[in-house]
Amino acid sequence: MLAIQKIRNDFPVLHQQIQGHQLVYFDNAATSQKPKVVINALVAYYQGYNANIHRGIHTLAEKATVAFEQTRETVKEFIKAGSTEEVIFTKGTTEGINLVAATFGRKFIKADDEIIISTLEHHSNIVPWQLLCEATGAKLRIIPINDAGELDLEAYEKLLTPRTKLVSVVHISNALGTINPVETIIKAAHKVGAAVLIDGAQSAPHLTVDVQAMDCDFYIFSAHKVYAPTGMGVLYGKKHWLEQMPPYLGGGEMIKEVSFEKTTFNVLPYKFEAGTPNIADTIALKYALDYVQEIGKPAIAAHENQLARIVSDALRSIKGLRLVGTAAEKASIVSFVVDGVHHLDIGMLLDAKGIAVRTGHHCTQPLMKRLGVEGTVRASFAVYNTEEEVLYFVEQLEKIITKLR
Ligand SMILES: *Cc1c(COP(=O)(O)O)cnc(C)c1O
Reported confidence tier of residue 404, pLDDT bands at 50, 70, 90: confident
Peptide bond before residue 269 is cis, with ω within 30 degrees of 0: yes
Sheet holding 218-222, edge to edge: 87-90, 233-237, 218-222, 195-199, 164-170, 114-118, 139-143
Judged against a pLDDT cut of 90, whether residue 242 lies above it is answered with yes
**DSSP 8-state class, residue 398:** H
pLDDT over 90 (residue 356): yes
Give the mutation target among 198, 202, 364 for probing the ligand 1 site: most ligand atoms within 8 A of CB.
Answer: 202
What are the CA-CA distances from residue 317 to residues 91, 304, 322 (Å)?
Answer: 42, 21, 10
- 356 and 336 part of one domain: yes
pLDDT on residue 55: 81
Ligand 1 centroid to residue 60 C-alpha, Å:
34
Q: Is residue 297 within 8 Å of residue 208, measured between CB atoms?
A: yes
Q: Are residues 245 and 322 in the same domain?
A: no
Q: Average of pLDDT values for 310-317?
A: 97
Instruction: For residue 356, give the H/E element and its range.
Output: strand 355-356
32 inside domain: no
Percent of the chain with pLDDT over 90: 97
What pLDDT band is residue 251 in, cutting at 50, 70 and 90?
very high
pLDDT digits 0-9 by tens, 259-312: 999 999 999 999 999 999 999 999 999 999 999 999 999 999 999 999 999 999
Is the same domain home to 235 and 326? no
Task: Give the span between the Cα atoms of 245 and 197, in whole angstroms.
Answer: 14
Number of structural domains found in the chain = 2
Phi, psi dihedral angles at 248 (to 5 degrees) = -95, -75
pLDDT on residue 34: 98
Residues 205 and 285 in one domain: yes
pLDDT digit string, tens, across residues 116-158: 999 999 999 999 999 999 999 999 999 999 999 999 999 999 9
Substitution site in 168, 222, 364, 380 for ligand 1 pocket (most atoms within 8 Å of beta carbon): 222
Report whether residue 81 contacts ligand 1, using a CB cutoff of 6 Å.
no
- Confidence grade of residue 345 (pLDDT, cut at 50, 70, 90): very high
Determine the structural domain holding residue 315 and report its residue range. Answer: 4-26+297-404
Is 93 domain-assigned?
Answer: yes
Do 276 and 190 share a structural domain?
yes
Residue 175 pLDDT class (50, 70, 90 cuts): very high
Angle ∠(106,110,114) on CA atoms, nearest 5 = 110
207 and 309 belong to one structural domain: no
Number of H helices and E strands in the chain, helices first, is: 14, 17
Interior/surface letters 158-194, b for 16+ CB within 10 angstroms, e for the rest: ebbeeebbbbbbbbbbbbbbbbbebeebbebbbebeb
pLDDT average, residue stretch 87-92: 98
